């Protein structure tokens, strides 16, 4: 039977030191955790996916997601504060867009990982 723990107690000190040196700082790790927290809310994730396809205003996002404009505005504020989305004025309308497609690339990679985990 295959066991998922070491059967001997041994530490390769050089390996541990090398990996430790390459690890992100605790501040970087906390920042990454904050991103995961932001992405863990389904409405925010849906907003990001929608904005990866086109820029949309609050009314359009609310209609698309079948939620209130207030709910969309709240989620957009969080995404804007995180630097993931921004908006530009189009007359009296504010159209939201992704600041960078990197977040969508990350979401797509997570989707692939999820599919592999389900196998």
**Residues 58-72: tens digit of each pLDDT:** 999 999 999 999 999
pLDDT tens readout for residues 27-51: 999 999 999 999 999 999 999 999 9
Looking at residue 64, its pLDDT comes to 97
pTM, full prediction: 0.80
The residue extents of the domains of the chain are 26-118
CATH no. of 26-118: 1.10.10.10
Find the angle CA(59)-CA(63)-CA(67) to the nearest 5 degrees.
95
Looking at residue 101, its pLDDT comes to 84
Q: Is the pLDDT of residue 8 over 80?
A: no
Half-sphere CA count of 108, side-chain side, radius 13 A: 7
Conformation bin of residue 66: beta by default, left when phi > 0, alpha when psi is -120 to 50:
left
pLDDT tens readout for residues 56-111: 999 999 999 999 999 999 999 999 999 999 999 988 889 999 998 888 888 888 88
Looking at residue 13, its pLDDT comes to 93
Contact 48, 103 (CB under 8 A): yes
Rounded Cα gap, residues 27 and 48, in angstroms: 25
Task: Enter the tokens of residue 16.
Answer: 């541990």
Looking at residue 62, its pLDDT comes to 97
């Amino acid at each position: 039977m295959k066991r998922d723990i070491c059967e001997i107690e041994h530490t390769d000190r050089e390996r541990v030191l090398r990996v430790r040196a390459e690890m992100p700082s605790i501040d970087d790790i906390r920042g990454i955790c904050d991103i995961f927290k932001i992405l863990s809310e389904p409405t925010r994730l849906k907003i990001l996916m929608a904005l990866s396809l086109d820029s949309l205003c609050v009314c359009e996002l609310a209609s698309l997601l079948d939620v209130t404009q207030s709910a969309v505005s709240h989620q957009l504020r969080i995404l804007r504060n995180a630097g993931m989305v921004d908006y530009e004025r189009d007359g009296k309308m504010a159209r939201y867009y992704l600041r960078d497609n990197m977040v969508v690339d990350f979401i797509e990679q997570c989707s692939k990982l999820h599919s592999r985990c389900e196998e």
